[in-house]
Amino acid sequence: MKKTRSIRAAACLCLAAGMGSAQAYDLPVVNLGLTSFLDGGLPAGPGLYIQQYFLDYRSDSLKDDKGNTLGLPKTDLSYQVAVTQLSYLSGLRWGDASLGLNAVLPVVTRMSVDDGIGNAALKGQSGVGDLLVGPFIQFDPVMGAAGPKFVHRIELQVNMPTGKYSEGKAVNPGNNNWSFNPYWAATWWFSPKWSASLRAHYLYNFKNHSPSLAFGDVSSVQAGQAVHANFATEYAVTPQLRLGLAGYWLNQLTDTKVDGHAVAGRKEKVWAIGPGAMYSFSQDDHLVFNTYFEQDVKNRPEGSRLQLRYIHHF
Q: For residue range 227-239, what is the model confidence (pLDDT) as tens digits?
A: 999 999 999 999 9
What pLDDT, on a 0 to 100 scale, did the predictor assign at position 254?
Answer: 97
First-to-last alpha carbon distance for the chain, in angstroms, is 60
13 falls in which pLDDT band (50, 70, 90)? very low
As a whole number, mean pLDDT of residues 251-268 equals 95
CB count within 10 Å of CB 253 equals 11
Residue pair 14/62 in contact (Cβ under 8 Å)? The answer is: yes
Specify the amino acid at residue 124: G
As a whole number, mean pLDDT of residues 80-96 equals 96
Distance between CA 64 and CA 302 in Å, rounded?
A: 10
What is the DSSP pairing of strand 221-222 with strand 179-180?
Answer: unpaired
Residue pair 31/228 in contact (Cβ under 8 Å)? The answer is: yes
What pLDDT, on a 0 to 100 scale, did the predictor assign at position 178?
Answer: 97
Per-residue pLDDT at 61 exceeds 50 = yes
- For the stretch 143-152, contacts whose Cβ atoms lie closer than 8 Å and that sit 24 or more positions apart, written own/partner, are 144/189, 146/191, 146/192, 147/189, 147/192, 148/41, 148/189, 149/188, 149/189, 150/40, 150/186, 150/187, 150/188, 150/189, 151/40, 151/41, 151/186, 151/187, 152/40, 152/41, 152/184, 152/185, 152/186, 152/187
Domain 2-16+30-313 sits in CATH 2.40.160.40: yes
What pLDDT, on a 0 to 100 scale, did the predictor assign at position 121?
Answer: 57
Distance between CA 146 and CA 250 in Å, rounded?
A: 35
Residue 303, phi-psi category: left (phi > 0), alpha (psi -120 to 50), beta (remainder): beta
1 falls in which pLDDT band (50, 70, 90)? very low
* Angle 183-279-240 from CA coordinates, rounded to 5°: 115
Provide, rounded to the nearest whole percent, the portion of the chain with pLDDT above 70: 89
Q: Look up the pTM and report it.
A: 0.88
Domain chopping of the chain, boundaries: 2-16+30-313
Per-residue pLDDT at 171 exceeds 80 = no
